[in-house]
Amino acid sequence: MAYVATTPRSDGSFRPATRSTRRTASVEAVKSRQACAQAQHQSRVRATGSRRAPEAQAPILDSAARSTRYRIAPLDSDAGPSLQPTTIYVGPLDRRTAPEGLVLVLHGCGGTARCFEDMAHEWAKAMPRVAFIMPTAPQRGRFTAWFNKSGKSPAGLGVQPKCCAYTRVEAQLLNILESERARLQLDWSQVALLGYSAGSMMASWLSLKLPAACAGLVCLHGICPDHRLPPPPPCPKTGRPPALLMAGGEDVQIIPEAVEHSRDLLKERFGFKDVTYVLTPDQPHSLSIEELDAVLAFFQQCLLRSPASVGGA
């Protein structure tokens, strides 16, 4: 089943609607479906491996319960705040066979782990041997954000201020990936990263920090590291992962030209060989059915090893 992203929820999450019903559903029907979905989710928490980490299990840097491979510099006084406690885990739904993939999903500015929760459940049904992790960015002023800015952003396409106060979040996200990858007994080549809007910058930055190439990188209506971030470590011997960048023709928040520039940076500056750029005409900053279908197909191609790994959508 394909879903289209809309923005009526107060928490910034996307409400799914099928292609055939999204234009005709009444307000009462929408509320009824949301209540039903909430009840179903509560049962899935116990039955299908979807869980929200309690505060005591939030990813804390240097926790004794976690293998902390990635650490911030001891003298880094501008490491920034920590991730918020809510981290949502979905899948793998197939417990009888070995997991085949892990996807880290990063929301946009002002969002939370809930933003992609419904989509992750649908993707998990289509890929029952793949797990999804959705953390929540720190609260920075009025909004949640993965990075802070060293200054005020100029109007238009002027030079943007550098990113700062993100190294603690970076280390925590890398620790989450390392911990879950080890728990599921996966190689880095079975890990994929997805970022939406402002989450694209952090997702692509993490892909440059990994010790080996991951399975794939998806940037939805967002940009990749540029002059605002320092040079990453050298490209690993395994190279760079395939990447999918998507832009909306009517997106005024992240204009298509900015995404095209990120495509060029991935190739020319960071050594990505396989970069696919998709422009969806007349699409604003939300996500369309066609875009979500393309993301699912990309994950299936780079994560699944056999047709038996594909579940019913």
The whole-angstrom separation of Cα 282 and Cα 123 is 25
**Torsion sign over Cα 232, 235, 236, 240:** positive
Higher pLDDT, 27 or 284: 284
**Torsion sign over Cα 248, 250, 255, 261:** positive
Question: Is 11 in contact with 108 (CB distance < 8 Å)?
Answer: no
pLDDT reported for residue 160:
75
- 83 secondary structure, DSSP code: P
pLDDT reported for residue 65:
30
Instruction: Give the least confident one: 41-45, 62-66, 230-234, 294-298.
Output: 62-66
The whole-angstrom separation of Cα 173 and Cα 148 is 16
Q: What's the rounded mean pLDDT across residues 208-217?
A: 97
> Is 304 a residue whose pLDDT tops 50?
yes
Q: Model confidence over 142-190: pLDDT tens digits?
A: 999 999 987 666 555 556 789 999 999 999 999 999 999 999 999 999 9
Please report which confidence band the pLDDT of residue 78 belongs to, taking 50, 70 and 90 as the band edges.
confident
The whole-angstrom separation of Cα 2 and Cα 17 is 8
Of 81, 84, 102, the residue nearest 92 (C-alpha): 102
Question: Is 198 in contact with 174 (CB distance < 8 Å)?
Answer: no
ω into residue 281 within 30 of 0, thus cis?
Answer: no
pLDDT reported for residue 121:
97
Domains by residue range for the chain, with CATH: 51-309 (3.40.50.1820)
Instruction: Give the least confident one: 17-21, 237-241, 252-256.
Output: 17-21
Q: What's the rounded mean pLDDT across residues 213-223?
A: 98
